[in-house]
Structures are given as structure tokens and as C-alpha cells.
Amino acid sequence: MICVSLGRTRHKMVLAEHQALAERGAKLVELRLDWLSRVPDLGRLLVDRPTPVIVTCRRPRDKGLWRFTEEQRQTLLRSAIVAGADYVDLEEDIATDIRRYGPTKRIISYHNFDETPADIADIHARLAKLDADIVKIVTMANSPADNVRMLQLVRGAASLTVGFCMGEFGLPSRILTGRYGAPFTYATFHRERQMAPGQPTFDEMRDVYRYDQINEETEVFGVVADPVAHSYSPLIHNAALAHLGLNAVYLPFRVPEGTLAETIREFDALAVKGYSVTLPHKEAVVELADERDKAVDEIGAANTLYRNDRGTWSAANTDHDAALSSLVEALSAESPDKPAEAAHPLAGKKVLLLGAGGVARAIGHGVVRHGGILMVTNRTKARAAELAEQFGCVLVQWENRGAQFADVLINCTSVGMHPGVDETPFVANWLREGMIVFDTVYNPERTLLIKQARERGCRTVTGVEMFVRQAARQFELFTGQPAPQDVMRDTLRQAISPARSS
């Protein structure tokens, strides 16, 4: 069950939002009385309540907004119990001062906004002794491993326990806590009114992560990155899992550079079955795999780590496959009557690659392998020179990139990406009709480069196509099922910047 935290300064707004939440299917609402600017009127808030409620009233020292006296606060909590609130949230230090009465259930809570302390099990034991119906323990995660410690605590607890971590590191524990036995997790009504750091919205929890369907059998996948909050992978993978009705969830894992190996070992406790891997881990992940695709070995980078049939880790580079297949489709559309046994569509094509980062390396590798004539250029010359040496291809000065004749132009820089949507790495009058222009940037889909290329009569391939294909291939490696690519594409298009349609 998802408990939605509701905090507003006016009673009228609390009542209206509580009603709206009930109509949207919320089954439990936390009324954060400390948010109200006037002394709370419990009668108004509890009579005819449209869902069961948890009454909570936090002091400023617990990061709450209560502006009246502590005596008034405790009187209010006692009154909530007398009025028959379904649950009341009591901090550890006041739990013995506020007695059990009637059917109201007692949540005895501990919050730590700085860390997940080493002694969470001792803290839990202390709380459980305070006549608790539910122990609530919420701490700040400062590392991926804090999620694991917290979820193990929830699983091993003798009493009913809601336990999860806050912050970007802690999101997996909020989503998985039910899998380990927590009776509910918390979400916010609205992104702009988070009650705690990293709290997802009700809609995200319910519709993206399908929290209420997560159980002990639910398989776990996710993306490892730092930062990770901006990633669209959870959105599109979860949409695909939901579309096929699979009992699986895909999570964002924030993993700092240099900590991938230890995190993956720690996450064995969560039985994670597959990872999408992105910056800054694409190279580090190669060493962690027991088996690797040929392309991974050749490129030295992977974007996928998954449990193979033997239960060991395999690494794949689906960026490479996705970019190549998108390009091949565009090239094949140029000469649809070409016999299947003819040379690879890239063979003999002059390809100008802008950029020298991880994506450029993956795509450049594929171009060379299939007989394309590769030219690389990059703002920082040394990186382009290194790539040119690796591929044995032509190095073009960044300043001269417009003067090259190319059949195919591929942008592997981040230029044109949201919010820099008015920028392009290749000005319009360098483009010529008939050229294939592939922009790997996917947010927005219609970058300035793509728009100008279309105006000039070029054939275009967008980063959305590549992004969807690399995710679809990952999905297939993770689940063994064909990916619903249309669902993934539609979900991504709805989520990315509106600039795509301008």
C-alpha cells in the first residue's frame, strides 16, 4: 500500500486534496498537521474522511513545520487518538507520554536526515518496545549499500516495520520496502510538496513503479549511473514491463564513480538480475562481467550487465547495436532494391563522426567494422586523435568539419541537448541534400541539427530511435521477451522536452 503524505497550510486545501486523492485511488493518507498555519481543527479533518489516515505532526527539530508549543502538539496527538484516527505517528521520545486508546494504531518513528547509522537494528529494537503497532525507521542514504542494510532490517524485523532511506541514493529502498514486508511506503501528493528528500509522487509510485504489485517474487532490474535522477530508462523499461504484465520492476540506482564493483556485490542481496549501465561506469563494468560480447571487448565499454542462463554476469553494448541498426535502416531505405547478399550498407560510405566520447567510440567501431570510411573530429583534438589512432581512420580538425564530403554525419557530442536546444554542432549550410544525418541526442528528439537537416533534404535518424533500440535490446537480454518498442518509444516521446514538437 502507498501512503500519500499531504501537507497544506489551509484546512480547505487539505480537505480538497484528500478527497482528490481518494478519487484517484489512494488507500491511506498521512495528514501532516504541522503544515497547517492555524491550530489544526481535527473535527473538520477527520469527520467523513474519505480514506484511513495517519495523523502526524512534526516539530522543526524533526524537519517539520509545527509553529505552536510542544504541549499543544502532544494534546493534538492525544485528541487525534480520542477522535479515532486510524494511525498516529509518535516520535520515540514522546511515545511513552502518549498512551494507547481505542482502535488507533501507534506508529513509533525514528528519522535521521544525516545518515543511516550503523546501529539501526538497536534503534529498531528500542522503538519496538514502545508499544508499537508499526515501527517506522527512515534514514538518509549516503551510499547504495544503505538501501541493502535498511531492507535487510525490514525483512528480519519481528514487528511490523516501515523502513526505507531518503535521498537520491535511497529511492530503491522506498520502492522495494514492501517486497521485504513493510505494510506501506510513503509518496507525496505533488512533486513540489515533498515531505522528505527523494520522496516520489503517488503517480510515480503507483503508475511507473507499480508499487502495489511488487512482492517477494518480483524481479529487480535497474540503471546504475551518477547522477541518475535525469534518466529516462526507469520510465521506458517499467512501461514495457507493465505492458507485458511481467512481475518485475526497474529502478534508478545512484552509484558513484569507483564504487560499481562493491555496489553490484552488495546488491546481490537484492537479487538484481540486470543493469543498464551509463556514465560514469561504462568502462568499469567490462571488468565485472564473466562473459562479454565481442563488441564489448573491442570497444572496451558496455552499457548492459545481465545474469545469463548460467547465473553469471554477461556484458553487452546495446548502444553499439542500436546505433548500427538505426543507421543500417536509414541506409537500406536509400536503396531498397539492393539484394540481401550485397555488401553491408555502410561499406564504402564516408562517415563523419562528431565527438570522441563513449558513444562516438561505440558507433565508430561499428562503422569501421562494416567497411565505412570513418573520419573523426572533436572539440578537444587530443581525444579525437586518440580515437583516430584506435580506428586507424582520418582525423579532421574541429574547425574544418564543415569542409568534408560525407555520406553520413553522426553527432555524438552533447551539443543541441536540452536546455541548449538552440545550438547545433554542424551549421545548416554545411549540410547537403541526400546526406544521412544521425543525431544521437534524444532530448529533444527534433534537435536543431535534425530540423535543419530535414529542411535541407537530408535523411535523418534521431537519438530517440537509438535510445529506444538500445533499451529494447537490454529488455530482451533482461527478460528473454521481445520488447514492446512502440510502447517504449511513445513513453519516451511523452516524457522528453516539449521542444521536440516545435
Residues in the site for ligand NAP, rule: CB under 6 A? 279, 319, 355-360, 378-380, 383, 412-415, 417, 425, 440-442, 463, 466-467, 470
Rank residues 99 and 379 by Cβ distance to ligand NAP and give the closer one: 379
Q: How far is the CB of 154 from ligand NAP (least distance, A)?
A: 35
CA–CA distance, 66 with 39 (Å, rounded to integer): 9
Q: How far is the CB of 36 from ligand NAP (least distance, A)?
A: 45
**Can you say whether residue 335 is alpha, beta or left, with left for phi > 0 and alpha for psi between -120 and 50 degrees?**
beta
Let me know: does 210 contact 27? Beta carbons within 8 Å: no
Rank residues 98 and 412 by Cβ distance to ligand NAP and give the closer one: 412
Task: Establish whether 111 is a catalytic residue.
Answer: yes
Options 27, 105, 111, 344, the catalytic residue? 111
Instruction: Tell me how far CA of residue 219 lies from CA of 170, 191, 249, 329, 488, in angstroms.
Output: 19, 27, 6, 33, 19
* Residue whose grid cell is 542494510: 149
Residue whose beta carbon is closest to ligand NAP: 357
Q: How far is the CB of 332 from ligand NAP (least distance, A)?
A: 20
Task: Establish whether 124 is a catalytic residue.
Answer: no
Task: Establish whether 93 is a catalytic residue.
Answer: no
Cis amide leading into 280 (omega within 30) = yes
Options 18, 237, 281, 282, the catalytic residue? 282
User: Among 304, 255, 325, which Cα is nearest to 478's?
Assistant: 304
Encoded amino acid at 301, one letter = A
CA–CA distance, 153 with 302 (Å, rounded to integer): 34
Q: How far is the CB of 400 from ligand NAP (least distance, A)?
A: 14
C-alpha cell at 124: 529498531
Q: How far is the CB of 247 from ligand NAP (least distance, A)?
A: 27
Task: Establish whether 319 is a catalytic residue.
Answer: yes
* Residue whose grid cell is 540506482: 253
Rank residues 185 and 424 by Cβ distance to ligand NAP and give the closer one: 424
User: Among 239, 186, 182, 242, which Cα is nearest to 216's?
Assistant: 182
Cis amide leading into 52 (omega within 30) = no
C-alpha cell at 234: 526507469
Rank residues 134 and 441 by Cβ distance to ligand NAP and give the closer one: 441
Options 124, 136, 237, 281, the catalytic residue? 136
Q: How far is the CB of 274 from ligand NAP (least distance, A)?
A: 17
Rank residues 266 and 319 by Cβ distance to ligand NAP and give the closer one: 319
* Residue whose grid cell is 562473459: 291
CA–CA distance, 288 with 277 (Å, rounded to integer): 12
Options 146, 226, 293, 319, the catalytic residue? 319
* Residue whose grid cell is 494504531: 105
Alpha carbon 272 to its chain centroid, in Å, reads: 15
* Residue whose grid cell is 553494448: 317
Rank residues 380 and 397 by Cβ distance to ligand NAP and give the closer one: 380
Q: How far is the CB of 250 from ligand NAP (least distance, A)?
A: 16
Torsion of CA 18, 160, 222, 487, to 10 degrees: -40
* Residue whose grid cell is 506501506: 184
Rank residues 57 and 466 by Cβ distance to ligand NAP and give the closer one: 466
Which residues are annotated as catalytic?
Answer: 111, 136, 282, 319
